[in-house]
Every structure is written in C-alpha cells, then in structure tokens.
C-alpha cells in the first residue's frame, strides 16, 4: 500500500504538486499516494487531524495555510521558525515536524541549475515578507559578500536582519537607499508581479553580468523581468526551478531519496519572452 501524502490549500485545483511528486516517485522507483486537499477556511486543524487519522504521512502546505501549519507543528526547523511559515510537514506518531523549503529550493536553483554560486557575491533581496524570510538563512549559508534586504517598510527588513545579524554581512535598507549600489544577484521576493506591478528599484542596482530572478513562475516576462531586461540584464530567471527544487527537498525529507529535478523543470518552464 502506498504511503499517503498531499498538498493542502484553498484554492488548490490549479496545483501542480501531484504531477511533480508523481514524477519524482516514478523517477526514484518509489510509490506514494499524493493528492490535493482543498481545506475549508478556519478548519485546518480538524482537516489535518482527519488526514493523519487516515494514514497521512506528510503534507505540502500552500496559501492560505502556511501560518496555520506553523501553529499546528510540534517541532519547527530553524528555517521555518525564522520564516514564521511552514510549507512541509511530516507526521511521526504524535510528532508534527515542520519545515520551510522555499529558500533552500531557491538557493539550489541559483547555485546548481543556473550556475550562479553566491559565495563572495553581493545579493539584493527585494521584499521582507514570508518568501524573503524563508530565503535569508539559506542565502547566508552560501557566504555572500553581502546580503541586502530592501523593503518599502524598512522596519520590517530591520526586524529580519536583527534575527540573523550574527550569520553574515546582512543589511536592511529602503528603496531610496539603493541609488548608486550595484549587485551581482537581484531577487524579487515581493508580491508586485502578482498585481502586474514593479517594485520601485532603480536600474543602477544591476551590475555587469547580473542575474535578475523572479520568484513568480510560469508567467513569462513579468514587469520586474522586463524592467531588468530593458536595463541590460542578460541572465533572467523565474521561480520554476525554485518550485521544482523545494518539492524535491520535501520528497527527499519524506522518503530519503533525492529525485532529479531536470525533467520537471523542463516540463514546467515557460519561455521568458
């Protein structure tokens, strides 16, 4: 009998997680029963309790339940604790062990898939919300020369920096502070592209040979990526690799075998044009 796993969200019918995890299971020769759960708002706890009672072994969590999952967990990884959100859980008896693999997936996509090592680089992270918070520790573990976190509300970026200031050279700024600064990697972790908007970043932030990365994926050239391209940036990437890699991290965590992500990335990639 296959072990039961699922992704919970609302809405959830659009999710590609079952397709992806199915491809990973096939590639590794393992069997899993992976489905979707459209959770009712305000009913996260009884929904997960029922899933566990029926043999559920693990979950991916997507919007709007990442904070509910954070509260439900009995054990939080350091990454999940810093992010204040959970995107994967596994159940071992009474233990609910929670992780946040978004930042790990992002770093793996940058370093391994896009061949952009972060060690010694100047990295600019736009935004200080949940997506950015999940990325900070994995970024600092790569030992960049400097990680700059930029947010409209500077105090939010400062609060985040205060929690990790002992981990590396990390700085909080507002958009007005970016003039005259240049970076090797610029990551848009804001929600601006969801609304077809552009974060107020100056073109001067893109250094020669810069990589401009957009967390949103499957939308082609977002306003941010188009802005970067028009500013002369040659290497553009969206978050398809991050999505595939964080799913692979969860699969590895659950099953102890790491799947190859190349086929999934090829299948999900939308040309940036």
**Catalytic residue (choose from 16, 66, 90, 234):** 66
pLDDT in tens, 147-183: 999 999 999 999 999 999 999 999 999 999 999 999 9
From 154, 193, 192, select the one nearest 172 (Cα to Cα).
154
Number of Cβ within 10 Å of residue 226's Cβ equals 15
Parts of the chain with a pLDDT under 50:
none
Contact (CB, 8 A) for 39 and 93: no
- In the block, residue with structure tokens 């028009």: 230
Catalytic residue list contains 90: no
Contact (CB, 8 A) for 148 and 122: yes
Distance between CA atoms of 96 and 140, rounded to whole angstroms? 27
Q: Which domains, ranges and CATH numbers included, belong to the chain?
A: 3-100+241-268 (3.40.50.10860), 103-238 (3.40.50.720)
Helix (H, G, I), strand (E, B) or coil at 12: coil
Instruction: Give the pTM.
Output: 0.94
């Amino acid at each position: 009998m296959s072990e039961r796993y699922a992704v919970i969200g609302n809405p959830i019918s659009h999710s590609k997680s079952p397709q992806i995890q199915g491809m990973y299971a096939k590639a590794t020769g393992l069997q899993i029963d992976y489905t979707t759960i459209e959770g009712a708002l305000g009913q996260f706890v009884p929904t997960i309790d029922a899933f566990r009672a029926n043999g559920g072994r693990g979950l991916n969590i997507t919007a709007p339940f990442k904070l509910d999952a954070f509260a439900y967990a009995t054990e939080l990884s350091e990454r999940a604790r810093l992010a204040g959100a959970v995107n994967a859980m596994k159940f071992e008896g009474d233990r609910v062990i929670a992780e946040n693999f978004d930042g790990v997936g992002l770093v793996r996509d940058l370093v391994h898939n896009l061949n952009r090592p972060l060690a010694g680089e100047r990295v600019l992270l736009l935004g200080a919300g949940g997506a950015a918070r999940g990325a900070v520790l994995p970024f600092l573990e790569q030992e960049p020369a400097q990680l700059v976190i930029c947010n409209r509300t500077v105090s939010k970026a400062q609060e985040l920096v205060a929690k990790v200031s002992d981990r590396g050279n990390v700085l909080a700024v507002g958009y007005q502070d970016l003039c005259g600064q240049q970076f090797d990697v610029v990551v848009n972790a804001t929600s601006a592209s969801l609304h077809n908007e552009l974060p107020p970043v100056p073109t001067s932030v893109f250094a020669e040979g810069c990589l401009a990365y957009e967390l949103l994926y499957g939308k082609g050239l977002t306003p941010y990526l188009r802005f970067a391209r028009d500013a002369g940036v040659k290497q553009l990437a969206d978050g398809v690799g991050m999505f595939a890699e964080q799913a692979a991290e969860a699969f590895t965590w659950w099953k102890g075998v790491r799947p190859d992500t190349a086929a999934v990335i090829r299948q999900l990639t939308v040309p940036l044009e």
